[in-house]
Structure 1
Amino acid sequence: MTVRSGLKPTSASPAPRPLRRGSRRARLVGGLAGILVTVVVVGLVLWLSHAFDSGANRTATNVPVSWQRPVVTADALVTQSGVKITQVAVTGDGGLVDLRYKVVDPARANTLHDPRTPPAVVDEESGLVVHQLLMDHSHTGPYKTGVTYYLVFNNPGNWVHHGSRVSVMLGNAQVEHVLVP
């Protein structure tokens, strides 16, 4: 064995440490376990808050006092305001609420024109009053018997959604628990 001159082995540099296999795997498992625990805790908190809140009274008490009107059934709305609700739907990719109503008594339906009782839809879960009409469009003029009219409201934040229960305010009456299909 020949030794080259000028090259001397040095013992100043430490020998490289062997990689520990378990350390990387342990960090990965620990990280995944932490994520799993976080998801379980958040899910439990959401479930408990929903479970305790589901018994809450979701009626006119969620509607701001300034917007409340006498609560009537859907059938009584016909005698109170002269109209029958035919549809409440979310359209425009959730950004609009489409309210359709059929006029049964045009004389009573004219109460819908009263500026003191503007039409609105209230999300019963949040109490949010959806009342801003799309492009401020509403019906003007006399109503005709048997004709279905519509109101399209802006739905800010998509608060009213499929499966929501809403209160519909038309004229001086309010119909609660209308399901949005």
Structure 2
Amino acid sequence: MLLVSSIQVSSAFAESAFPEEARPAVPARTVAAPARASPYSPVKVPKHAMAYYDLYGGVDNLHVRRTASGNLIRFSYRVTDPVIAKVLADKSATPYLFGQRSRALLQIPVMDKIGQLRQSGPLEVGQEYWMVFSNKGNLIKAGDRVNVMIGSFHIDGLVVE
């Protein structure tokens, strides 16, 4: 009993020793949700792969980037050989973007007055071209690896920036 009363007295004394304004602030603990990271490291396409795509597809300077708050994925490339890369500008070939992690298959959206959100027509050497894929629901995130498939043309393992 003596022990219990001494604990109550000491706690009451400690509270009266520090007025409400002068009490040391105790930082509130916040628990941050762990960030879900991609299992892939964001590395650039190796030089030997770039040389392969240059010879095989007639393109280089390949980039896949998220735009419009992640609702669109932009695939851009530079043409080095227009004869080999003509399948990229073919309007009859349907382009797809396949997410390796999410297994999502994205298509190019078609706007009423504009048509497909991609460049087509005759290709020129050294010119950059692009196409935009709809990423509704953010199925593909930055750091994910994707494959671009346009007819018989396939580019595998590009990292989304």
TM-score normalized by structure 1?
0.54
**2: CA distance between counterparts of 1:117 and 1:127?**
21
The 3-state SS of whatever aligns with 1:105 is coil
| Aligned residues: CA RMSD | 2.5
Q: Structure 1 170/149 Cα, relative in aligned 2: closer, same or farther at 3 Å?
A: same
Of the three residues 113, 121, 139, the one matched with 1:141 is 121
Deviations 1:84-119 (A, max 9, x none): 242101110110001100000011111123456422
Percent identity over paired residues: 29
Q: Which runs of 5+ in 2 are unaligned?
A: 1-33, 40-48
Structure-1 residue corresponding to 2:105: 129
Do residues 154 (structure 1) and 134 (structure 2) align?
Answer: yes
Q: Structure 1 115/134 Cα, relative in aligned 2: closer, same or farther at 3 Å?
A: closer
Q: Structure 1 134/160 Cα, relative in aligned 2: closer, same or farther at 3 Å?
A: farther
Equivalent residues of 1:97, 1:154 under 8 A apart: yes
**2: CA distance between counterparts of 1:154 and 1:164?**
16
**2: CA distance between counterparts of 1:133 and 1:142?**
21
Structure-2 residue corresponding to 1:113: 89
Deviations 1:115-142 (A, max 9, x none): 5642221100122111123631222321
Equivalent residues of 1:81, 1:171 under 8 A apart: no
Q: Structure 1 98/164 Cα, relative in aligned 2: closer, same or farther at 3 Å?
A: same
Alpha-carbon shift at residue 78 of structure 1 (Å):
2.1
1:177 maps to a residue whose letter is G
Deviations 1:122-174 (A, max 9, x none): 10012211112363122232100000011111112111111111112245222
Equivalent residues of 2:87, 2:153 under 8 A apart: no
The structure with the greater share of residues assigned to strand is 2
Of the three residues 38, 48, 66, the one matched with 1:90 is 66
TM-score normalized by structure 2?
0.60
2:127 maps to a residue whose letter is V
The structure with the greater share of residues assigned to helix is 1
The 3-state SS of whatever aligns with 2:157 is strand
Structure-2 residue corresponding to 1:20: none
**2: CA distance between counterparts of 1:85 and 1:166?**
16
**1: CA distance between counterparts of 2:118 and 2:66?**
18
The 3-state SS of whatever aligns with 2:76 is strand
Aligned residues: 112
**2: CA distance between counterparts of 1:140 and 1:175?**
18
